[in-house]
Structure 1
Amino acid sequence: MNKPILFICLFIQSFIFAQLSERSLSSEKWQFKNSKDKNWLPAQVPGTVHQDLMNNKIIQDPFKDENEKKVQWIENEDWDYQTTFNISSKEVMNDNIDLVFNGLDTFSEIFLNGKLLKKTDNMFRKWQIPVKQDLKSGENLLQIKFKSAFNTGKELAKKVPFTMPESPRSFVRKAQYQFGWDWGPRLVTAGIWKDIKLEFWNNARIENIKIEQKKLSDKNAELAVHASIFADKKGKYTIAVNNTVDVVPLKKGQNLINIPFHIQNPKRWQPNGWGEAYLYDIKVSLKQKSTSLSDETMKIGLRTIELVQDKDERGKSFYFKVNGNPLYIKGTNWIPADSFSPRITKEKYQKLIKDSKEAHMNMIRIWGGGIYENDEFYKACDENGILVWQDFMFAGSFYPADEEFLANVKEEVKDQVSRLQNHPSIALWCGNNEIDEAIVNWGYQKQFKYSKNDSIQVWKDYKKLFHEVIPNALKENLTVDKNIYWPSSPSIGWGHKESLTEGDSHYWGVWWGEQPFEIYNEKVGRFMSEYGFQGMPSLETTKSMFSAIPDLSLQNPVIKAHEKHGRGWEIINEYMKRDYKVPTDFVKYNYVSQLLQARGMEIAIEAHRRARPYNMGTLYWQLNDCWPVVSWSSIDYLGNWKAFHYQTKRSFEPMLISVSENKDSYDIYFINDLLQDAKITSKVELIDFKGKVLWAAGATDHLSANSAEKHLEIKKENFSSFDLSSTALKIYVGNDTFKTEKLYFFKKPKDLKLSKPTLYIKKISPTEIEVSTDVLAKDVYLKGDTNFSDNFFDMLPKTSKRITLSQPLEKVEGMSLWDVLEN
């Protein structure tokens, strides 16, 4: 009688524990301490040691005042973390239990109940450790001991017979920006920066799913689902992709299963501006008989993408063809949105991507000195039609290529590619940021007195890492349709002529070279993947640099400490003198610095777009900040749009009017990023600042799809009798379905003859206002605790502009309207 009962109990027990289940350990009561100390303090996981020290009031916020300097000791210390957790007798009965760390920063030793399980050496890797034999029912002790990445890196650097630039950061597989950049603080963190969990599973589990798009037409999408399954017990299993079910035999150990899958009449995933970023739900389930063992769910998009590089009479093209059509790339570069990345919220990721979409962007480049971003970033890009240029995490230095380092990188690539590859937003994988250029152009060999053999070794190591190990690891872990690899960005440094005739270009003649903004009209490459100019953050963000009521002055040491470029203020001042009257008042200086940045970037973006199809992409540096700072960003650390981002929204409009001044004429271009031709009416008026029309011309024309064409050429002699410092060119293009306008000023802002306007605001609805003026109002700045549909804009008299607010007027604090007339 006992045997049947025992059989039934075992069957029920097996059924209960068949489904893979997870349990987070991040929410347990964690503690930390300096390894030299005895006393433990409360810790937060995920997190960083800096956050834990702040929470325990041992250090002050390094983002405020000059506190960054006071916390540099942290990077030299070792730090210990620990927690206890209970395991039930039921949990122990699972056949397999894995301890999974999604991110440990960086050099650590993992102990469970006193036993050393693993040593880690890479912030970007996933560590999965079988622990069933090491767990016990009841209380278990988990300890993670972190070694100083700075000190460990110095020890690793000693193994190389010559001095490496940026040592020791290039020896540690860790976010490189933590060591300080010209827009970010030096905050070299340690800690458990991603979640920790226990996974319980039986019989078999799905380890990874790759979705390959084999063919795509209007009638059918032919897919292959590649499932990597680990079986603890061999036998027949059922695997289902949505409603498609197959029975497959699995051997004990690793199994690779390929399942064909079809979607009839598929909808394509379209980039922002071309249509809906349509996503399909895919669920892959593994069962044995009727028992569910493991499943994976994901959203995929169906699209084709190619990187086209064809030789032509001027060099070689560089453009992306998406769903069969050339796509002009409009976008930006992304850095981590916080120096302490565990505190970047889903809401912040979503807002920054939506802000990019609102500014008509279709691509973001993830810069190689940061991190492989959180899943939420890629999810937001998928949903909003934003393509991703994904750098691997190497930037601006030389890197070693010993066997241990290369093996570590290979596993890093495997982990990250496995995690990210099914996102339709991923357009290109890039080996590094500016390392080819650093080796060829930056003079490190001379600075560090390299021998000829040293220099040869550096180049061999570079080729080994970025032309062999990484692309080979990509091929091993990617499906064919997602394997677009570019070894280094840029492909050629900005001082070389070829950088503008092929590949992608980082042009820094403006800012670093201190060339005038107008040089952007000449220095146009095939694909501009970096260029930029600094501007101050909003006043709100500037004030957040202080822990007390701020003394807002350019001489304030706190303000100076939040400008990380050695000559930043000097360069901003020099450019400001060229184009504006330089204010002495800090608030006005803040405002004009933003106008200056926006003006420079408007010139650059429009020069790029006019040059289509020679130029087919413009990615400015940079979208966001990792702390409150004077930088190249268009959105500051607190999420406020700078004047630059409002200008980006205007300059990235799918229908753009752009004016190019030549020796004898003003050439007017109409740029159309859409896939449809259009019949248009255009009108050009020369208007004085009081609204009087002095000259006019118009035409009916045809606007070609996906094009940039010169439509009008106005001879300068037409305007020889007018005072161009008191006039503007108003250009209109439109038809029954769209309308766009542009004001073009002939003179620099400091040379315009402005008079004081009377500005009027009329409430249209709780979330809409109308602004009007009696004379030209230049760079109208709306201030308030809300987002505006437009800001920092110009207005002619006898016109009005409607502005939408992100929240009702009665909830907006500090709403005011300001126009800097002195400029």
Structure 2
Amino acid sequence: MPHRSIYFLFCLLALRATAQDRYELNSGWQYAPAATVKVQGTDLSMPNYPLAGWKPAIVPGTVLTTMLHHKQVPDPFYGMNNELIPDIYTTGRDYYTCWFVKDFKEVYPTAGQQVWLQFRGVNYGCDVFLNGHKLNEVTFKSMFLRQQYNITPWLTKDGSNRLAVIVYPPDPVGNPNGGQGGDGRIAKNVSHQYVAGWDWIQPIRDRNTGIWDKVYIEKTGVVNLKNPHVVTMVPGKRMPSGPQQPATIKMTAELENTSDKPVQGILQYTLAGKKIWKAVTIPANTTALVTLPNAILNNPRLWWPAGYGQQELYTTELQFLVNGKPADKESLTFGVREIQRVWNTTTLSSQFNVNGQKIFIKGGNWIISDAMLRFTDERYDAEIRYHRDMNLNLIRIWGGALLERPEFYKACDKYGMLVFQDFWMSGDCNGRWQDPKKAEDQATRRKYPDDHDLFLRSVADGIKLIRNHPSLAIWCGGNEITPPDDILAAMRDSLLPQLDGTRVFFDYSNSDSMSMNILKGNGDGPYNIQPTDTFWKFRTYPFNSEVGSVGLGDYESLKRFIPAANRVPPVYTPAAGGQRAREKADSVWEYHKYIGYQDQIARYGPVKDARDFAMKAQLVNYDQYRALMEGFTAHMWDWYTGTIIWKTQNPWTALRGQMYDYYLDPNACLYGLRKGGEPVHVMYNPVEGTVMTVNNRFISNDSDYLAIKAYDMAGKSIPLPGSRVKLDASAVNTFMNIKDTVDKLRAEKGIFLSIRLVSSDELTHGSNNLYCLPAANGQYAGLNELRPATLGVNATMMESGKMLVEFINKTGSIAFFNRISILHPQTKERILPAFYSDNYITILPYERKFVSIEWNDKSLTPLVNVEGWNVTTKTVIPSTGAAGK
């Protein structure tokens, strides 16, 4: 009886604690270089210790982002400013070792309540002090390992608290000697590698030292509910719409009892009106993994990749109840879907099925949202939306960067992007190749990082962080390299099966288990500009993890980070007299990793200036990426099961491999890729001369009609024979051969070739594809003969943040390649980000086209600007339309 009385009293005290209450410490931080602080952390963390001379700090953030905020360094993304910032390899680690201090209010907890301090990411090491107490016994290390401290005993009675954190840079920091990852030694740490420089970025001078990810205070009862895990099982072959057979939901969670008494309670959640629960007893001072009974979800709303169906999500709340009252709870959002990997015996590569349906992977390689780790929900949302708008369905996270943040995955869940997540290895730093720029030999680098146990603990924690996201599809040991044998074995055989168990694991990104390289020597790549027919006729990996091309932005993009004196076009010198062809670019362009266009720009005529060069580059961009995706999808299921573009974005102001620039301004790459990747697409095969269709849907399209026309440079149309066609489900179909006719028509000056797939109601266009084909000599000289076109532009506000623009070609000439931009009504600068249903549009004589535009600042009514090849630049004010009704 006394024992029961004590237990009952204990439960009452525990229930006096509030249920989960979590908030972020993301403002009010101050910082100072460690060299200027002469006291220990125990003194510094006392709430009454004066902080005279300290400066506000950016947290989450890095030392360099805080220095940039105070204008102590110039913007490293502009011009060659990065050269003006001291590099940590030269200054030594002490230069970027800093204290970060945060004063915060937290009421002293009542009996049974626990208060936790949580760090989601510190780079690289740290010591943590609170109110005169050191919280960690030994210096914490690892960029990717979360930290949690029970700070209940150390909170002050009056609720005024001070947190002090000293942050140490990686060790070693690596020599940024121009190699991939510099001298490679940055990989001796459990951290990201690009910060020592790569072929697409200059070194980050502080190596991103700082409290780079979120810091939280969380309040719980005596039992802390953490790391919930949901697994959804969707048997059979499903369709995106219609009634569904049941799905099975499996749920587990960790329960941490912080007290010296056992606690009895119920772990539960509610799904579709049904309560799923289990009674448990958690022993004293123990963390227990609790498995709830399986739940059967009838007629589930399924999650599908982009282009295949809706991205339905469920939200539930796990609770741990003591005597019917919540001691702690966690909200959980998840999607109901099942991903299967099968081996395609025709292509000899992995094929991915979602909910039983095969998905042709159209992916993009992603580095990181911002090279200096300045992450926001809004930027993540915009970038992932751009990827959805490119008609992609997968993003690969490159291994020299991060385990991406939950906010990234949340956006991928929303927009239907499957994710291929590498861990922190690269062939360059981790010893796949001999490299004279590396400080240590290949065998030594194969053992990186130095602390294998730390790496594995970081992997385990990272799996728990992101495993509930339906978008996460693939785990990968590293970029172009396997981890060391002991790490690989632990990940493959223990960690991933135990902590996830639902996703495929590739030992490295171009592993034969992903894709057999049946054409030795023709693996990943190409990475530079190609004749567009290359993508149609040359076979590469059957699931190519990296293939890409150019990505220069237009002149408005260049103006943002290239000084005026350096905005000069590159000069291309053709091969002659035994000399190789050369392309010479300005030194600032080279610093920003410009990748050349070779002879492709010159095919459109002489370059006048940088503006003209950048505009003509957009013509090349559009054709490159449309051809890339068309060439791969033309061989869907016979050569390929997927392809992943290297790469779709840059985390700084680079001049290569991007569909939009660092400032989120799209270029023509995005819209060429969007066109080539349409879920239902009609296209012209430049090698065979056939008209082809790609249908990514799970159902066939009956009785569609192919309408084909050619247009000469005067705008005269030449009808070609059409045909009523049937499109098979998830298949490529080949129809008439028009090569001889097309080659004859284009021979002298080039032509426009219009191919339209008209739906069975003969009113709407299922796909509308227009090619500008060069003359027989490969030149586009005929474009210079286009007569001026008069373009009517009518813009109407449909609602706040959204407008519809109608373009009417009022002439018999083709209105060629028109860039649409929305401008701020006062500054006349482009509003970024902005989302266009189409762009770089060409409008045939006397035809019209509608483009919808959305933007984030709904208080603005933008101007609409249009500029084209043979159209006078025009800016219009939208009418109020529906928004004014």
TM-score, scaled relative to structure 1: 0.86
What's the CA shift string for 1:647-698, capped at 9, x where partnerless?
Answer: 1111111111122234xx5111111111111121123233323333445212
| AA at the equivalent of 2:319 | S
**RMSD of aligned alpha carbons:** 3.4
Tell me if structure 2 keeps the 8 A contact 1:339–1:627.
yes
Question: Which residue of the partner structure matches residue 790 of structure 2?
Answer: 760
Aligned length: 769
> In 2, Cα distance between the equivalents of 1:798 and 1:544?
37
1:458-607 matches, within 5 Å, as 462-469=484-491, 472-478=494-500, 480=501, 482-491=502-511, 499=517, 507-511=524-528, 516-521=531-536, 522-545=538-561, 552-554=567-569, 560-564=587-591, 568=594, 571-577=596-602, 579-607=603-631
Matched, 1:669 2:692: yes
Distance 1:594 1:814, change over 3 A: same
Distance 1:106 1:234 in 2: 37
Cα contact 1:206–1:294 (8 A) shared by 2:
yes
User: Following the alignment from structure 1 to structure 2, what is the Cα–Cα distance between the partners of residues 528 and 752?
Assistant: 35
Report the counterpart of residue 400 of structure 2 in structure 1.
Answer: 369
Structure 1: segments with no counterpart, 5+ residues: 1-5, 155-162, 437-460
Alpha-carbon distance between aligned partners in 2 of 1:41 and 1:550, rounded to the nearest angstrom = 35
Show the 5 A alignment for 1:408-807.
408-435=454-481, 462-469=484-491, 472-478=494-500, 480=501, 482-491=502-511, 499=517, 507-511=524-528, 516-521=531-536, 522-545=538-561, 552-554=567-569, 560-564=587-591, 568=594, 571-577=596-602, 579-614=603-638, 615-662=640-687, 666-678=689-701, 679-716=703-740, 720=744, 723=747, 725-735=749-759, 736=761, 738-747=765-774, 750-754=779-783, 755-766=785-796, 767-772=804-809, 773-785=811-823, 787=834, 788-806=836-854
User: Please, which of 120, 123, 128 is the counterpart of residue 143 of structure 2?
Assistant: 123
**Residue 401 of structure 1: CA displacement?**
3.6
Instruction: Map Cα deviations across residues 574-596 of structure 1 (whole Å, 9 max, x no partner).
Output: 4434x443513110111122322
Superposed, which structure 2 residues align to 1:153-302 within 5 Å? 166-187=183-204, 188-214=207-233, 216=235, 218-231=244-257, 232=259, 233-242=261-270, 243-252=275-284, 253-260=286-293, 261-302=295-336
Tell me how far apart the structure 2 counterparts of residues 705 and 683 of structure 1 sit (CA, whole Å): 21
Match of 2:366 in 1: 334
Deviation at 1:145, TM superposition (A): 2.2
| Range with bigger deviation, 811-820 or 529-538 | 811-820
Q: Alignment partner of 2:256: what SS?
A: strand
Q: What SS class does the counterpart of residue 533 from structure 2 fall into?
A: helix
* SS, match of residue 806 in structure 1: strand
Give 1:534's aligned amino acid.
V
Query: What is the identity, as a one-letter code, of the residue corresponding to 1:668?
Result: V
5+ unaligned residues in a row in structure 2: which ranges?
1-5, 39-52, 237-243, 431-444, 572-583, 797-803, 824-830, 873-885
Distance in structure 1 (CA, Å) of the matches to 2:745 and 2:98: 77
Cα distance in 1 for residues equivalent to 2:277 and 2:311: 28
Matches of 1:572 and 1:65, distance apart in 2: 21
User: Cα deviations across residues 113-168 of structure 1 (Å, max 9, x unaligned)?
Assistant: 253624122111101123444444355543322333254668xxxxxxxx998422
The alpha-carbon distance between structure 1 residues 24 and 644, as it changes in their structure 2 partners (threshold 3 A), is closer
AA at the equivalent of 1:537: G
Residue 17 of structure 1 is matched in structure 2 by 17
1:104 aligns with 2:122: yes
Report what 2:418 is aligned to.
387
Q: CA deviation at 1:809?
A: 14
For 1:726-765, what per-residue CA distance to the aligned partner results, in whole angstroms no more than 9, with x for missing partners?
A: 4333222222264322233442673341313322232444
Maintained 8 Å contact 1:783/1:818: no
Match of 1:442 in 2: none
Contact 1:505-1:527 at 8 Å conserved across structures: no
AA aligned to 1:803 is V
Q: Tell me the distance in 1 between the aligned counterparts of 2:416 and 2:742.
A: 44
Q: Deviations over 1:609-660 (max 9, x none)?
A: 0001121212212222212221210011111110100111111111111222
2 CA distance for matches of 1:468 and 1:248? Answer: 30
Q: Distance in 1 between matches of 2:423 and 2:195?
A: 16
Counterpart residue number, 1:90: 108
The offset of 1:373, in angstroms, is 2.1
TM-score (norm: length of structure 2): 0.80
Q: Is the 8 A contact 2:98 2:167 kept in 1?
A: yes
Q: In 1, distance between residues paired with 2:122 and 2:331?
A: 25
Task: Return the alpha-carbon distance in structure 2 between the equivalents of residues 240 and 775 of structure 1.
Answer: 68
Q: Given that residues 569 and 610 in structure 2 are in contact (C-alpha distance below 8 angstroms), is that contact kept between their aligned partners in structure 1?
A: yes
Secondary structure at 2:553 match in 1:
coil
Which residue does 1:43 correspond to in 2? 57
SS across alignment from 2:614: helix
Asked if structure 1 preserves the Cα contact closer than 8 Å seen for 2:306 and 2:388, the reply is: yes
2:75 to 40, 51, 61: 61
Q: How far off its partner does 1:790 sit?
A: 2.1
